[in-house]
Structure 1
Amino acid sequence: MDDKVEEPIDFIMKHCLWQSHSRNWDRERQNEEILKKTKQLLCGEPVDLSTPSDRCYWVDAVSLVDAYRERYTWINAMSKDELAQLIDTLKARLDYLTISGSLNEELSDKNY
């Protein structure tokens, strides 16, 4: 599964501004919520849209799903379990690249 993650990660890094928040807690929340909704959409599960934040994350997830289905047609042939595993692996990689492995010291600067 790791070999399939790099293309979708590359898309996020190049096209999604939400992964560039200036605080690590913002990035953690964005990654979690958008990718959770992305997984739900890909797997045909219900998505919670009860709050304005939920709807905001949902819009980003819809855009991501549309792009993934168009650009990476192999996603369309995956089972729900494979899709869930893909998104979980993708999230772990994205968290590493944008949070825990980032060299951006502003992410954890308490005075910023």
Structure 2
Amino acid sequence: MYMTVESKENMLMNYIMKNYLWQFNSRTWDRKAQNENIIGKMTQILCNEKIKMDTPADRCYWAEAKSLIDEWKCFPWLKKMNITDIKLMMSTLKKDLDTQLITQSLNKELTDPNY
């Protein structure tokens, strides 16, 4: 059975939504930072790129990314993907997380200036 990059990204999105809580921070800027940094570090790990670990936040994002990638061993097709497809898939995953969890969220706390 052939799987498209889109179908693979959907599987990863579902996995994150069902198994991780970091995407449910209560402020927009937190959600944006989490999505950008965790997905960014995951992409670097999957593509065997050098990972910036200069700050405690960098190390925290790396730990979340590493944990998730370790769990994604249940997706054997991930190891067989080329770097171009990995980057495309992860970029789409980040964009979809931003859309679903920020842009289209009905959570009013995300836009409350007093929170």
User: TM-score, normalised to structure 1's length?
Assistant: 0.95
Shift of 1:14: 1.5
CA offsets 1:32-85 (integer angstroms, 9 cap, x no match): 0000000000000010111100000000000111112x1211111100111111
Distance in 2 of aligned mates of 1:111 and 1:50: 31
Question: Given the alignment, which residue of 76, 91, 106 partners 1:103?
Answer: 106
Distance in 1 of aligned mates of 2:64 and 2:22: 8
For residue 88 of structure 1, what is the aligned residue in structure 2? 91
Alignment of 1:1-112 (within 5 A): 1-68=5-72, 70-112=73-115
Q: How big is the alpha-carbon RMSD for the aligned residues of Structure 1 and Structure 2?
A: 0.9
CA offsets 1:5-56 (integer angstroms, 9 cap, x no match): 1111111111111111000110000100000000000000010111100000
Distance in 2 of aligned mates of 1:102 and 1:74: 31
Distance in 2 of aligned mates of 1:16 and 1:51: 23
Which ranges in structure 2 are unaligned for 5 or more consecutive residues?
none
Moved more, 50-59 or 14-23: 14-23
Shift of 1:2: 2.0
Distance in 1 of aligned mates of 2:85 and 2:65: 18
- The number of residue pairs the alignment matches comes to 111
Identity %: 43
Letter in 1 for 2:30: D
Which ranges in structure 1 are unaligned for 5 or more consecutive residues?
none
